[in-house]
Amino acid sequence: MNQRHKLSKGGVRSAARARFARITDLPDRTVMLGAILLGAAVSAGLSYFLAQIFSIDVFSSLLAVPEDCWLDWDLNIGRHCFSDYAQIVPAGLQPNPWTYEFSLPWGDYEPFPLGGPAGEMVPHMLFGFPAHLVGSPRLGLIGYMFALVVAVLSPAVWAARGTHGVERVVVFVALGAAAIPAWAVIDRGNSAGFLVPIALLFLVALSRRQWRLAAIMVVLAALVKPWFVVLVVALFVARQWRWGGLALAGVLVSNVAAYLLWPQDFPKTIMQSINNVSAVASSPGALIDLRNVSFGRALLLLPDTLASLQGGKVPDGFLAGPRSIIGYAILALVVVALLILGRRIPPLMAGIVLLATAALSPPIAYYYYLIFVLPIAAIVVRSPDGSLGTGIFEHFAANRERRRLVAVSVSLATAFTIVQIALPTPPIPAPIFGQFGARGIIGTTPIVLTTSILAPLLWLIACVVVIISYARRPVHVRGLGDDDDPVALEDGSPSTSADRSEAISSHPPAED
C-alpha cells in the first residue's frame, strides 16, 4: 500500500514537472503575447469593477483628463484639444518661439515661455504651418493625428506581417489596440510617437548590421527628441567608429539647422531654448508628478509614499537633488558597461538597452515616453533575420545563443509596459481646469494609481540582466542577426565557414 502511495506521489510530481517544463519551454514571443493578453483581460475586469462600483474615471487614470482646451486654440474636437500639439503650433508660428509666453493652469497661470529645442517643433509645424496658411487649424490637427496613428501602429503592422493565420490578429491587437502607451501618445498628440518607426528601423538596422541606416536613424531620433542621441553608443559598442562619428556630426548639424527655420535672434535662440528646458526640468511639481515614469521617480517611490502618508502629499522639492541625477547616473553606468562589453554583446541587444535607458533616464519622463516599448515588442515577436513566426530570442536560440533569463526579463518588461492596469487604490481627485481661456478649477474627476510606475523598475532589472549575462558569457558568433556577415573569432577577426562550424561546435548553448 505504501509502495503504491509512493508511486502515485511520484507520478504526480513527474506530471507537474512535465507541465512546468512545457510552460518554461514556450517561445519567448508566446510568453510576451500571452502576458499582454492576460494583462489586458485583468485590466478590463478591474476597470469594470472600479468604474461601475466606485465611479472611478478609469480612462483618465490610464491616460489624462480629456478637458485640455485651456486656451482658445480653435483646435478642439469635442472637449479634447490634443494639447501637446495645440501648445506647440501657436508658439511655432511666432518669429521667435522661445520668447513667446502663454498661461496654463500649472504654476497658478503664471506666464512661461515654450521649452524645447527647435527640432521637437518640426513635426508639429509640418502640419500646423500649412493649415495656418489656408486658415484651417483643425485640418492641420487631423493630418498630424493621422500621421501619429500610422507611426505608433507601424510596429504592430510590421510584426504581424512576420506571422501567419489568426496570429496576425493576435499580434496586431497586442501591439496596437491593447498598447496603453500608444493610446497615451495619441491622446496627448505628443511627437514622441514619431520615434516609434525610427526606433524600429534602428533596431532592424542593428540586427542586420546596416550601419549607415542605423546612423541615419540616430540623427532622426535626436531631431525629434534630442536626448535619444545616446542611441549612437550602439554604433560605438559595435566598434563602428566612423559611422558613430558621422551620426554625431549629423545630429549636431540637423539640430542647429532646425533653429534656422526661425532665423530671428539666431544663434541666441539656442541658449534661450536650453534655459527654457532647464526651467521646466527643475520644476518640483513635475519631478513628483504621478505620471512621471523616470528611473528617479520609480526608485524613490517608497520614500515618496511614506512622505505622502505622513503629510497627505509629497512635499515640493522632496529629495529633488537625488531625483534629478539618479537617471543620468544610471545612463552613464549603462553606457560605460556597454562600451566595455563591445562586440561581446550583439548590437541589437545593446540597442534595446540604450533605447529603454534613453527614454527613462531624464528626471521627467512622462508616461507617454513608454512608447519606446513598441519597437522592442515588435522585435521580440518577429526577428528581422528569422523565419516566419520566429522572434529574436528564438533566432538567437537557433544559433546556440539561448539566454533564457535575458529573454524572460525583456519579454515580461515589454509586456507589462504595454499593458497598464488601474489599481484599486484610494481615489485621487484630478482637477478639471477652466476651458477656452477661463481660469480656475471647475470640477474634479476621481482617478487611481496604475501599474505604469512599475515599468521603469522592470526595465532597470532587464537592462542589468542583459549586461550581466553578456559580461559573464560573451556572444561567440558575431553573425547573429546577419547570416551574410562573417563570423568573428574571439579576437574579432573574420572567419571562414570551417571556423563557423568549429566555433559553434566548440561552445555549448549559452544559458542563464
Task: Quote the pLDDT of residue 26.
Answer: 78
Q: What is the mean pLDDT of residues 476-493?
A: 40
Q: 194-250: per-residue pLDDT in tens?
A: 999 999 999 999 999 999 999 999 999 999 999 999 999 999 999 999 999 999 999
pTM of the model: 0.86
**CA 335, chain centre distance (Å):** 18
Q: Are strands 441-447 and 112-113 parallel, antiparallel or unpaired?
A: unpaired
Mean pLDDT of the chain: 84
Task: Quote the pLDDT of residue 506.
Answer: 37
Percent helix / strand / coil, the chain, rounded to 5: 65, 5, 30
DSSP track, 257-311: HHHTTS-TTTTHHHHHHHHHHHHHHT-HHHHT-TTB--HHHHHTHHHHHHHHHHH
Task: Quote the pLDDT of residue 510.
Answer: 43
Q: How far apart are CA 162 and CA 396, in angstroms?
A: 17
pLDDT band at 485 (very low <50, low <70, confident <90, very high): very low
DSSP assignment, residue 366? B
Task: Quote the pLDDT of residue 480.
Answer: 44
Q: How far apart are CA 7 and CA 88, in angstroms?
A: 72
Q: 274-309: per-residue pLDDT in tens?
A: 888 777 666 666 777 778 899 988 888 888 777 777
Task: Quote the pLDDT of residue 47.
Answer: 93
DSSP E strands, 140-269 = none
| Residue 28 near residue 391, CB atoms below 8 Å | yes
Which uninterrupted H or E stretch holds 218?
helix 211-224
Q: 375-433: per-residue pLDDT in tens?
A: 999 999 998 887 777 888 888 888 777 888 999 999 999 999 999 999 998 898 989 99
Task: Quote the pLDDT of residue 413.
Answer: 95
Nearest CA-CA partner of 249 in 232, 236, 224, 264: 232
Task: Quote the pLDDT of residue 70.
Answer: 87
Length of the chain: 512
Task: Quote the pLDDT of residue 243.
Answer: 95
Q: 149-183: per-residue pLDDT in tens?
A: 999 999 999 999 888 888 899 999 999 999 999 99
Nearest CA-CA partner of 462 in 316, 353, 378: 353
Q: How far apart are CA 332 and CA 329, in angstroms?
A: 5
Q: How far apart are CA 395 and CA 382, in angstroms?
A: 9
pLDDT for 18 beyond 70: no
